[in-house]
Amino acid sequence: QQQVKQSPQSLIVQKGGISIINCAYENTAFDYFPWYQQFPGKGPALLIAIRPDVSEKKEGRFTISFNKSAKQFSLHIMDSQPGDSATYFCAACGMDDKVIFGPGTSLSVIP
Amino acid sequence: ETGVTQSPTHLIKTRGQQVTLRCSSQSGHNTVSWYQQALGQGPQFIFQYYREEENGRGNFPPRFSGLQFPNYSSELNVNALELDDSALYLCASTARESSYNEQFFGPGTRLTVL
């Protein structure tokens, strides 16, 4: 049973466009929702994270939108750049600090 | 501040062998978690160590075991290696008593089982 679902599996966006990745979770005990960016051959790096008491968090070009009642959250990358090309994982954590990852989205930003 | 480091970076083993992977946690962090990332998939939680004791385990068989040392560094041991154990093994550290759950990941060890 996949506790964190993520879509799309892959995404191609033109430079300057908006990249949108959607996630959904099952367990209402989750209280921390990070997004990780991973480049080939590297470990995941924390990009941005949100707690369920807020509906939106913005850091630079990256925005998380959170809908607690629907148990859904999404990542928006504004003004997407070729350097943003990577695999993005949404995730969810509870009090035990165990990170449950989604299956990932491979983003390609083309010039 | 030193980040999370892992060794070795790459490793090749044959079926049935045993392997030990090492992780040094970020300064000030007392909790280490290990994850297995198969090619093209998201990382899967193996187990977590907090103050030298196992503190949670994912759906992995007992041949996956670990240790945490007094300096909070950690080892992942895998016995009787199988072909499906080929993956990137990641460790992540966090400060358990902090108000945030942020975990910092190391670069991983790429294990290939032949």
Please give the average per-residue pLDDT across A59-78, as a whole number.
96
Q: Does A42 touch chain B (CB under 8 A)?
A: yes
DSSP state for residue B84 in the 8-state scheme: G
Question: Cβ contact (<8 Å) for B42 and A43?
Answer: no
Q: Are B64 and B57 in contact (CB under 8 A)?
A: no
pLDDT at residue B1 greater than cutoff 70: no
What pLDDT, on a 0 to 100 scale, did the predictor assign at position B2? 62
| Alpha-carbon distance A107 to nearest alpha carbon in chain B (angstroms) | 13
What pLDDT, on a 0 to 100 scale, did the predictor assign at position A87? 97
The count of C-alpha atoms lying within 13 angstroms of the C-alpha of B25, restricted to the half-sphere facing its C-beta, is 28
> Residue A102: its chain B contacts at CB < 8 A?
42
> Which of A42-46, A53-57, A96-100, B88-92 shows the lowest per-residue confidence on average (mean pLDDT)?
A96-100
pLDDT digits (tens, 9 = 90+) for B15-35: 999 999 999 998 888 899 999
pLDDT at residue A24 greater than cutoff 90: yes
What pLDDT, on a 0 to 100 scale, did the predictor assign at position A59? 95
Please give the average per-residue pLDDT across A22-32, as a whole number.
92
Q: Are B52 and B42 in contact (CB under 8 A)?
A: no
Alpha helices (H) in chain B, listed in sequence order = none
A-contacting residues of B 13-72, CB under 8 Å?
31, 33, 35, 40-45, 48, 55-56, 58
What pLDDT, on a 0 to 100 scale, did the predictor assign at position B27? 83
List C-alpha distances in Å: B84 to B15, B48, B77, B80. Answer: 10, 21, 15, 11
Q: Are B113 and B38 in contact (CB under 8 A)?
A: no
What pLDDT, on a 0 to 100 scale, did the predictor assign at position A1? 58
Q: pLDDT over 90 for what percent of chain A?
A: 80
Torsion of the alpha carbons at B109, B112, B113 and B114, rounded to the nearest 10: -160
Q: Where are the beta strands (DSSP E) in chain B?
A: 5-7, 10-13, 19-24, 31-37, 44-50, 53-57, 64-68, 74-78, 87-94, 104-105, 109-113
Residue type, A42: K
What pLDDT, on a 0 to 100 scale, did the predictor assign at position B100? 61
Q: What whole-number distance in Å separates Cα of residue B114 and Cα of residue A54?
A: 48
| Alpha-carbon distance B107 to nearest alpha carbon in chain A (angstroms) | 4
Q: Which residue from A44, A93, A103 is facing B101, i.e. has the nearest CB?
A: A93
pLDDT at residue A110 greater than cutoff 90: yes
Residue type, A52: P
pLDDT digits (tens, 9 = 90+) for A73-93: 999 999 999 999 999 999 998
Confidence of residue B10 (pLDDT cuts 50, 70, 90): very high
**Please, what's the b/e burial string for A26-44 (b: 16 or more CB within 10 A of its CB; e: otherwise)?**
eeeebebbbbbbbeeeebb
Please give the average per-residue pLDDT across B32-41, as a whole number.
94
> Residue A97: its chain B contacts at CB < 8 A?
31, 33, 48, 94, 96, 101, 103
Please give the average per-residue pLDDT across B45-62, as a whole number.
93
pLDDT digits (tens, 9 = 90+) for B58-113: 999 999 999 999 988 999 999 999 999 999 999 999 876 665 667 889 999 999 99
